[in-house]
Amino acid sequence: MANGCGSTILTLVPAPRIAPEPHPRGGGRVPALIRTATVLQSICDAGRPMPLAELTQVTGFPKSSVMGICHALTEEHVLVRGVDGTYALGSRVFEFGSAARAHSRPLRDIGFSYPVDESFFLAEIRTVRAEATRLGAHLDLRCAKEDKERQSQQIRDFVSADVDLILVEPVVSEGLEAACAAAHTARIPVVAIGSAVSGADAVVATDNTKAGSLAGMALAKALSGQGRIAVVGGISITANADRVAGFLGAIAAYPQLSVVVTSRGELDALSGQRAAEEILATHPAVEGFFAANDQIAIGISRVLARRNLFVPIVAVDGAQGAVDQIRAGGPIVATATQDPMALVRAAIEIGSALHGGIGVVRQSHYIQPRLLDAQNVQEYQPWG
């Protein structure tokens, strides 16, 4: 997520809207609150981020009033402003909704299966723990060790333990269907975090296509629109496929940029090192790298450092190690952010709604990334 909650919007099946009754004294209504509520309801009804001009048109309020409301709500994290200037519901909305639902049908037990003990997932775990504590829920954490069968069994174990919600940061996007079906039979919602999972009830993820596109534009800029590029993808999940697709789509606008070699990494720096060694053995004239995640990028940078090569690298994540290199001048020159805290909070909010029997209209919720480079990295607070 980025950023607050980016463009992630939780849209619940709305109750019929009833016009408020006039206040008996006629003076109890507060116009500023009414306008604020109308702006929030408009974004809720739209089910997507909205630009200021559209909000002004839909609400019928003066542009200056809508702008002031949006700025104030953004300061309080009730709204979040995207890189394109649109406004979406922010993290405070999820907190309010989660608290309201906790009063009605609270989550008592949460199961979370994640791939490996790597910094991004550890940041998610810290947030899951904090949210479970806030909700007064018991948390069962399981590391799948990048093994599909192990993760499938972990989901089944959560079902046997009769948890209220299953969160899955997947090691694969296909192959967990039977385990998810067992959860459905037990009426336990399954929410995937980070990447889509076939059989899950909902997914909360970064807009990975946009993240790849941002990284692609950054590398095109670093190479002045021409050069030979290596692409190092990640594990077999839709998130990585989307990042690569977004990257390739962005550089397609530059005919003098060419991908000369592709490889695959995993979730650690060591896999990036291996990929870089293999690539440079056959394509020593590579002039730029795209890595599907920051850990791969950090591994590539180590190989370049040993060879005294400066080849720009772009990636996706916003991790501490990548941020440090951007601040130091490379070779990682840009990364498109993810927000593990926002991802987890949104997933728990959606899972809480499903657990409470409240219908979720959209099963896919995507948080907008932002590009970090030398121009804005100093203001960014990395997550791990």
Per-residue pLDDT, 382: 86
Place of tokens 């293999």: 278
Based on the domain organization, do 120 and 196 belong to the same domain? yes
Q: Is the per-residue pLDDT at 8 higher than 60?
A: no
**Could you report the per-residue pLDDT of 103-153, keeping only the tens digit for each?**
557 899 999 999 999 999 999 999 999 999 999 999 999 999 999 999 999
Residue 23's domain is classified under what CATH number?
1.10.10.10
Based on the domain organization, do 9 and 71 belong to the same domain? yes
Based on the domain organization, do 185 and 127 belong to the same domain? yes
Based on the domain organization, do 283 and 345 belong to the same domain? no
Residue 181 sits at the vertex; the CA angle it makes with 179 and 187, to the nearest 5 degrees, is 110
Domain end (from 25, 58, 89)? 89
Residue 139: φ, ψ to 5°: -120, 130
**Could you report the per-residue pLDDT of 180-227, keeping only the tens digit for each?**
999 999 999 999 999 999 999 999 999 999 999 999 999 999 999 999
Based on the domain organization, do 7 and 75 belong to the same domain? yes
Q: Is residue 271 one of the residues assigned to a domain?
A: yes
CA distance readout (Å), 291 to 20, 55, 295, 336, 375: 54, 38, 8, 11, 21
Q: Residue 136 sits in which domain range?
A: 107-205+340-367
Q: Is residue 377 one of the residues assigned to a domain?
A: no
Based on the domain organization, do 222 and 257 belong to the same domain? yes
Q: What percent of the chain has pLDDT over 90?
A: 75
Determine the residue type at 17.
R
Based on the domain organization, do 112 and 142 belong to the same domain? yes
Based on the domain organization, do 272 and 323 belong to the same domain? yes
Based on the domain organization, do 219 and 327 belong to the same domain? yes
Q: Is residue 191 one of the residues assigned to a domain?
A: yes
Residue 279's domain is classified under what CATH number?
3.40.50.2300
Based on the domain organization, do 332 and 213 belong to the same domain? yes
pTM of the model: 0.72
Q: Is residue 255 one of the residues assigned to a domain?
A: yes
Q: Is residue 98 one of the residues assigned to a domain?
A: no
**Could you report the per-residue pLDDT of 322-360, keeping only the tens digit for each?**
999 999 998 999 999 999 999 999 999 999 989 987 655
Based on the domain organization, do 357 and 301 belong to the same domain? no
Q: Is residue 323 one of the residues assigned to a domain?
A: yes
Based on the domain organization, do 120 and 239 belong to the same domain? no
Q: Is residue 378 one of the residues assigned to a domain?
A: no
CB 215, CB 232: distance < 8 Å: no
CB 49, CB 82: distance < 8 Å: yes
**Could you report the per-residue pLDDT of 262-283, keeping only the tens digit for each?**
999 999 999 999 999 999 999 9
Q: Is residue 358 one of the residues assigned to a domain?
A: yes
Across 88-109, average pLDDT: 75
Distance CA 317, CA 324 (A): 13
State the CB neighbour count (10 A cutoff) for residue 105.
14
Per the structure, the count of domains in the chain is 3
Nearest 10 degrees: Cα torsion 368, 372, 378, 381: 40
